[in-house]
Structures are given as C-alpha cells and as structure tokens.
Structure 1
Amino acid sequence: MGAEFVVTPMTADHAEQVLAVYQAGIDEGDATFETAAPAWEAFAAARLPEHRFVALDGPGHAFDGPGHVLGWVAATRVSDRRAYAGVVEHSVYVHPAARGRGVATALLRALADSTERAGIWTIQSGIFPENAASLAVHARAGFRVIGTRQRIGRHHGVWRDVVLVERRSSVVT
C-alpha cells in the first residue's frame, strides 16, 4: 500500500482538478467571497508559482483514482510595496471527500516551508468566522487570530465578517 497522499508543486496539469476543488469550496458558501472559479490563466497569473502546491491521492487510498487532486494551497503578494515584500496571503482548499485526512495541514506545512526558504516572514489569510474547520486547522498550523474585519464585504448580498489570521516565521527574522 502506497502513501496516503503526496504534496507536490502545482502545475497546469492540475488545472482542471484544482479549479473543481475551488468551485466545490465556493459552492459550500463559507470559503470565499468569489462566486465562481476563474479560468486557469487568471488563477495562475494571480498566484505566486513558487508557492502553489497540490496534495495528490496515493495508491490504495484513492477516492477518485491515484494522483487525483485532494486539495491545494497558493499564495499571493499582499502589496508591491517593499515594506511588505515578506508578506503573502494564502488560500487553502480541500475536496469535501478528502477532509479529515490531514491534507490541509500538509499543504500549509509545504507553504510555510517554501515561503521561509524565500525569506517571507508572514503568511496571512481572511477566513469567514463560520468556517470553524478552517480556523481550527490554521490554529494547529501555527496561525494566530489577529482580529475580525467586520462587514468587510458582501457575499450574495449579505455583509460578511472575516477573521484575519497570520503565521509569523520563527526562521525568517
């Protein structure tokens, strides 16, 4: 029996499955303000190539075939200003059928490792307060709650709050 899953850099070969996982998260309603996954070209252009990873299902554990994308993580710059060169914002999504397997934790670990190697000192994200599972996995991965941005945006016509979380590197100082 092979490994349960493997984390590897995200490539265009993963595009269709990455966007399907993203759309599944969008459809659940508590993951993002977005209402539809973008085309791959727009998705890839908005995210830093060196900080994009997928978790691929391993042999013997496949819910939809070995090598299937179970989840993904990707980062974007928060600003072009030099003072924020070491700060990125991330998103992490896991296929609903793959939850509870440690996929998000492994993806966040890969992101932390890659960003620290690149000299990035802060990873941040905004999470809807109703997304308790995401808040919990981020807390386990070393993220702390900074605060709540109240009524920061409308989602399907309803004002939503966002909990701002961050992970500060203990390596990059």
Structure 2
Amino acid sequence: MRIEQLRPEHAEQVLAIYQAGIDEGNATFETQAPEWASFDKSKLPGHRFVALEGNGGRVLGWVAASAVSDRCAYAGVVEHSVYVHPDARGRGVARALLDALIASTEADGIWTIQSGIFPENRAGLALHARAGFRIIGTRERIGRHRGVWRDVVLLERRSSVVG
C-alpha cells in the first residue's frame, strides 16, 4: 500500500468508496455521494490523500479535510472524513491515511482536526482514539437519518507541535 495525493484520476473510485460508506448507513447523514466537481471544490487541496494498492493503483481508501470556517480565528481548524473500501478494512488503511493527514496539516500550521462520528461506528471511534483524537461531546438527536434520530460523537485532535 502507498499513500498519495488524491487527484482527479482517483475520482471515480473515491466516490464509489464514499457511496459504499453511505449505503452502509453508519458513516454520514448524506444519502448520495456528490459529483466530483462539488467534492473537489469542498476539500482542501493539500490535505487529501488516497491509499493505493501495490502497483495496480486500486484505491483502497481516502481521507480529506475541509475548512470549518472562513473566519481567520478558525484558520488552523479543519474537519475531516476518512473512508475505506469494504474489502480493504482491517489492513491499516484508515490509520495510514489519518497519519498522512495529520502530517500534512501539522506541516501547514493546522492545530486542530475534528470530525463527527455516529456512536454506532465503533471501529471509527476506536481508530480515531488510537490516532490521538479525543471525544469532546455528543450531539444528541442532531439529525434524522433514514427516518431515525441520530446522535453524533464529536472528536478532535489537537496538535502537539502546532500552536
């Protein structure tokens, strides 16, 4: 496995992995992966990566960060998403992607990475705990998803080298 910058040629596979996560029901409130142009525009160019399988180049997973606000006080805070192809889970893909994201954000002076995860996504919560994220709270019944009120656990990772 190798980690590279997410580029337009990865779009089809990245969006398919995103849709697979959406379809499973415990990844996001979204119901449909966006068109590539919308996805591309919403993600910070220097902070999005793919994990590629060996020499074949099949995308195993992706991570990307978005700005949380355009206010200057939040210039060092991003929100991220990480998705792994169902066939590639349990192989360290998500952790490698998070490590790449952490390195890129710290190199860019970003001091906080945050995310919201459904509490039912125990693997995602455990992954983030291992990567140094901490739970900062739970937004109870914050939105309806497939006709059911859902909670979202808020997590953040504060850099120990930036700030």
Q: State the TM-score, normalized to the length of structure 1.
A: 0.93
- Of 11, 15, 36 in structure 2, the residue corresponding to residue 15 of structure 1 is 11
Q: 2: distance between equivalents of 1:142 and 1:157?
A: 33
- Structure 2 residue 51 is matched with structure 1 residue 55: yes
- Listed as ranges, the matches of 1:43-82 within 5 Å are 43-59=39-55, 66-82=56-72
Q: 1:39 aligns with which of 29, 35, 38?
A: 35
Question: Residues 32-91 of structure 1, C-alpha deviation per residue, up to 9 Å, x if partnerless?
Answer: 0000101000000011011000000014xxxxxx21000000000111111111000000
User: Identity, % of aligned pairs?
Assistant: 74
In 2, distance between residues paired with 1:67 and 1:110? Answer: 18
Looking at structure 1, the residues matched to 48 and 60 of structure 2 have their Cα atoms a distance apart, in angstroms, of 14
Question: Quick check: 1:156 aligned with 2:152?
Answer: no
Specify every segment of 5 or more residues in structure 1 that has no aligned partner in the other structure, as ranges. Answer: 60-65
C-alpha distance in 1 between matches for 2:33 and 2:54: 26
Q: Distance between the aligned counterparts of 2:143 and 2:62, measured in 1?
A: 24
Displacement, 1:157? 2.0
CA distance in 1, matches of 2:42, 2:29: 16
**What is the Cα-based RMSD across aligned positions, in Å?**
0.6
Residue 26 of structure 1 is matched in structure 2 by 22
- Aligned partner of 1:113 in structure 2 is 103
Secondary structure of 1:162's counterpart equals: strand
1:98 to 85, 88, 96: 88
CA distance in 1, matches of 2:120, 2:91: 21
User: Which ranges in structure 2 are unaligned for 5 or more consecutive residues?
Assistant: none
Pairing 1:134–2:130 present: no
Number of aligned residue pairs: give it.
Answer: 163
Query: What is the deviation of 1:154?
Result: 1.2
1:159 & 1:76 partners in 2: Cα distance?
25
